């Protein structure tokens, strides 16, 4: 399936960026920072972390902030838990950060995770899964599923209720979350929700959103290609582990909440995945925020839609845990 190119704001097509988004893009352009994919790996990771720190709102104070480790297939997986209370038997949301499987970490999703913990009334756990190129795909997926399995079996040791468990992530983390949800279904691990912010769910399809926004936003075609090149070479067992759109069946997977940005190369993939899930009888709630770009959830200092998205997901988690 291949779509025709849509309008590209960078090449004279009609712009649909919000005024705040356009101002942010103009500011980034004026700053003249080298693109992530043109930096040495260590600097690229630091640049992304510093960038999120400069654009995201600060983390909220929490009643519980706990650093611990989860046993993984290649050693201990660093994890952090946030909760707004000390209540026992809390529902838990496993969050998987974005960054193309190459950059990002607990620190780059902390601000949003604290908001989700406060809004939902549950605990949020994020992990530092292994990154490429040191650890090729599916290393990050293996860590993600190992963390979910541990929460299901041992979460009670942290005061967590495994009968009310959800998984989610953004961008590459959304990919991991979608695949982890499918693996959880196959393993008989019940989930009340899978929450996906602009996930990458397939490779090679030239969608309209990809053609329209891969040259005019921060998620460029060159950056996406660089990410994918870093991840390749691992012992991937199933195509759908990286491309959950192509799973043999989506029947019986957890209900989905999908949050998208209108001006994002990956927007059409989110719509495609929502359609595939609905075809399989999976309940789906899809929200698309107009005028914003990929990674907008980490830009709360500049884009009010970030807080709107955090609140929407927090409420979705709260409702899922109450059912």
List pLDDT tens digits, range 154-182: 999 999 999 999 999 999 999 999 999 99
Structure tokens at 50: 């510093």
Asked if residue 4 belongs to a domain, the reply is no
Structure tokens at 106: 């607990």
pLDDT greater at residue 86 or residue 10: 86
Query: Which of the residue ranges 26-30, 263-267, 284-288 would you say has the lowest mean pLDDT?
Result: 26-30
Q: Supply the pLDDT for residue 283.
A: 98
| Mean pLDDT score, 169-198 | 98
323 band by pLDDT with thresholds 50, 70 and 90: confident
Asked if residue 38 belongs to a domain, the reply is yes
| Mean pLDDT score, 213-239 | 93
Q: Supply the pLDDT for residue 5.
A: 35
- 171 as an active site residue: the answer is yes
207 band by pLDDT with thresholds 50, 70 and 90: very high
Q: What are the backbone dihedrals phi and psi of residue 217, each rounded to the nearest 5 degrees, phi first?
A: -130, 180
pLDDT over 90 percentage in the chain: 92
Q: Supply the pLDDT for residue 9.
A: 47
**Cα–Cα distance between 137 and 226 in angstroms, integer?**
14
| Mean pLDDT score, 146-160 | 98
Catalytic member of 120, 171, 200, 209 = 171
Residue 69 host element (H or E):
strand 64-72
> Residue 193 gets which letter from DSSP?
E
Catalytic member of 142, 264, 268, 295 = 264
pLDDT higher than threshold 70 for residue 271: yes
The residue behind tokens 């390749």 is 232
Q: Supply the pLDDT for residue 13.
A: 40
8 band by pLDDT with thresholds 50, 70 and 90: very low
Residue 248 host element (H or E):
none
| Residues making up the chain, counted from first to last | 323
What CATH number is given to the structural domain containing 264? Answer: 3.40.50.1820
Mapped onto helix, strand or coil, the DSSP state of residue 96 is: strand
Q: Supply the pLDDT for residue 254.
A: 98
Asked if residue 173 belongs to a domain, the reply is yes
Catalytic member of 97, 250, 294, 310 = 294
| Mean pLDDT score, 56-63 | 98
Asked if residue 288 belongs to a domain, the reply is yes
Asked if residue 18 belongs to a domain, the reply is no
Q: Supply the pLDDT for residue 217.
A: 92
DSSP bridge pairs for 76: 71
Asked if residue 15 belongs to a domain, the reply is no
Name the average pLDDT for the chain.
Answer: 94
pLDDT higher than threshold 60 for residue 7: no
**Cα–Cα distance between 86 and 48 in angstroms, integer?**
32
| Mean pLDDT score, 44-49 | 97
- 264 as an active site residue: the answer is yes
Q: Which domain holds residue 27?
A: 23-322
Structure tokens at 234: 């691992």
Q: What is the pLDDT of residues 234-247, one digit of tens each?
A: 888 899 999 999 99
Q: What is the pLDDT of residues 111-129, one digit of tens each?
A: 999 999 999 999 999 999 9
| pTM of the predicted model as reported, rounded to 2 decimal places | 0.95
Asked if residue 289 belongs to a domain, the reply is yes
Q: Supply the pLDDT for residue 15.
A: 65
Structural domains counted in the chain: 1
Asked if residue 9 belongs to a domain, the reply is no
């Amino acid at each position: 399936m291949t779509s025709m190119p849509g309008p590209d704001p960078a090449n004279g097509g009609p712009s649909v960026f919000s005024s705040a988004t356009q101002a942010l893009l103009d500011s980034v352009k004026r700053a003249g920072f080298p693109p992530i994919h043109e930096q040495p790996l260590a600097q690229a990771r630091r640049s992304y972390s510093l960038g999120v720190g400069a654009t995201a709102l600060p983390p909220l104070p929490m009643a519980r902030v706990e650093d611990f480790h989860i046993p993984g297939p290649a050693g201990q997986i660093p994890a952090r838990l946030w909760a707004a209370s000390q209540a026992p038997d809390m529902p838990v949301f496993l969050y998987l950060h974005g960054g193309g499987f190459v950059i990002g970490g607990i620190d780059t999703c902390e601000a949003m995770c604290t908001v989700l913990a406060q809004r939902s009334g549950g605990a949020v756990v994020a992990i530092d899964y292994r990154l490429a190129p040191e650890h090729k795909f599916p290393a990050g997926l293996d860590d993600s599923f190992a963390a979910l399995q541990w929460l299901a079996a041992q979460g009670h040791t942290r005061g967590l209720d495994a009968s009310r468990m959800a998984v989610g992530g953004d961008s590459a983390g959304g990919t991991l979350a979608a695949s982890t949800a499918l693996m959880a279904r196959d393993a008989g691990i019940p989930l009340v929700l899978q929450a996906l912010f602009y996930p990458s769910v397939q490779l090679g399809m030239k969608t309209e959103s990809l053609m329209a926004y891969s040259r005019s936003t921060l998620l460029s075609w060159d950056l996406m290609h660089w990410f994918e090149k870093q991840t390749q070479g691992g012992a991937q067992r199933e195509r759908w582990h990286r491309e959950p759109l192509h799973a043999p069946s989506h029947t019986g997977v957890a209900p989905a909440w999908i949050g998208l940005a209108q001006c994002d190369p990956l927007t059409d993939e989110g719509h495609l995945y929502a359609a595939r899930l609905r075809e399989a009888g999976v309940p789906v709630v899809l929200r698309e925020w107009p005028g914003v770009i990929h990674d907008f959830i980490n830009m709360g200092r500049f884009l009010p839609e970030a807080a709107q998205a955090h609140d929407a997901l927090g409420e979705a988690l709260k409702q899922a845990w109450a059912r």
